[in-house]
Structure 1
């Protein structure tokens, strides 16, 4: 499955870069023809420091050009886990949102636990049944398909974890900004050198309410997040390789060169020039480049020695949960706008996410020009050849399983328990849930 997805995403991005003509012209700006305004709700995870302003800009533009549709956007904290929890509560009370940014790690959970709108049927009902086929490569569409081929959503944002660093701090610490750490051993040494020679913190790894970067750590060291035993999904991270991967970050925190904090604290430390390195999504690129007073530089996710890095594809896809036909039609119209070349270029430029639609990455007047000029974007595109599937805990207890592993991360980083013991206990609890 991992190799299949790796080939899927690598081929997808290569094809996106190779495409020389824009396909289609985006939303045709038709509105729901009911004679009255249809209001729909759009749920997202874009905080103000993570694309929130772009969401508001896109929604305002859509509302202005579609007088018979009004989109109301709603930010959901705690990323995709928080959004999914809120979605559970909303659907239980019968108050479904209409369009939702669903994280790739919750694809299986959403498919198994929520009543969603089949996008093939929805586009057909909206009179545009070939929209997905005409504008997306089959392997890109697979990112929002279940294993049995159901198209439960449309890919919207794609990201990879990278290592951002401050070249000025590197120079003060006697490190070469042109030769950033390539392995976790080098990261650890650089973090300690930064702390010892500058007094600044050396390293911070994002601490969102998910296990995205932790999966990259585990699987890059030869471990697995999930495995199958007798046809049943089990926790796969109770291994020496996984424990060693977690312990690398925990040891940096223990010796004072690593930071264990909220994302807001960690990211602000980086932007204010008090942190040397931060490992997080390329989706933070625009926010960092805009907010920092130094030149923001980024390098690939570090490796464990000579082992190949395996990084899960991050980001989200768009799902529809509208109950009635008019709202479904309006939701599809809004999705077509969000996925138009113009809107995608704004979204990708304003965040750092990589566009999924054919032609956008190769638009000489838009994203391609930016990618050619920005080495951080160019590097992220090249990293797509290393991606694996973002693990998704199945079943009704998937959210609880995800939270248990998040809690284990905090226990390990706070030094309350070794990585080996914490992961062992967590695996036992998760296996009982699954």
Structure 2
């Protein structure tokens, strides 16, 4: 492990990187580089903003409260959207919010103030679309059910029972140089300025051992093993599929050739890149935490290599096959409130231009046919990132889903 991460730091792909794995009760870690640009040496004990690895913890919190009878996962909380649908990214609240999260303040009522101002932007269950707002709303309802702040509820019902001794999501009050940071001045680290309402989707900080302890707590026999958040892979825990992977409440997963489920989550926030993979059936988990905006491919690749080295499991390659439609059939305009996608056939590929309606800024990717209604993009910073098209009950194309987030066809 030392050689794997040292090479990534030496060639400039990351300022600092931590890799850990847990096999049963045994934990092994390795660290290389700095806590941030110009910072002190990074160690395996350095607390790290883990970004969206927070989502599985938030999902676990809601399931734990439901198991205690404090919360109904299927009760409607917003125009029919339930906590379960919010955790599965099918609650209709969308991938982003045009409001100013920072303006909601940093008090315990920040999530409640967000809940008062949000609304559905898609019909409930119309399409699976990854996003943070569903977790903000779910976090609010978890706090209400627990009778305390979200941060205290997560600490009491998830972090402490899992033995995550160095983990927290309450505002950082210690020396910022001790925390992994993405600015030359640790006091300007993006994590320290995170709006309070954003915490349920990505505000947890933890050491690599904490992340692995959380994974172990969800294994069969673990303190959260009976909650059914991870499921068995053969049931409905993973109800949605995107990019060759399965998605459930707070977790994404892939199935190895022998049927073994490998579940986890990645995280991206500011200059931080993180990835957790857990293999419950093998009582094994790996985690990679990095500082450096250019380290995403490195983090994702290292995590999969660590899974293979530890368990022998390999994510199956994506299968190619015939397309359901001539390329011209996918051409058109698709939009959601935070993006507009203009799709046109370009030789043997699709050209997808994405425009931010608020700023006018745009980007273009080339998507080559894969199979069915799925395309692989070129020029993105995540390997295997798809562009997929969704169909309605009558078989016509209704949505595009590039980079996890769906948009409706409007022309």
Give TM-score scaled by structure 2 length.
Answer: 0.26
Query: Whose relative contact order is higher, 1 or 2, with alpha carbons under 8 Å and at least 6 apart?
Result: 1
The normalised TM-score by structure 1 is: 0.25
Greater share of residues in strand: 2
The structure richer in helix per residue is 1
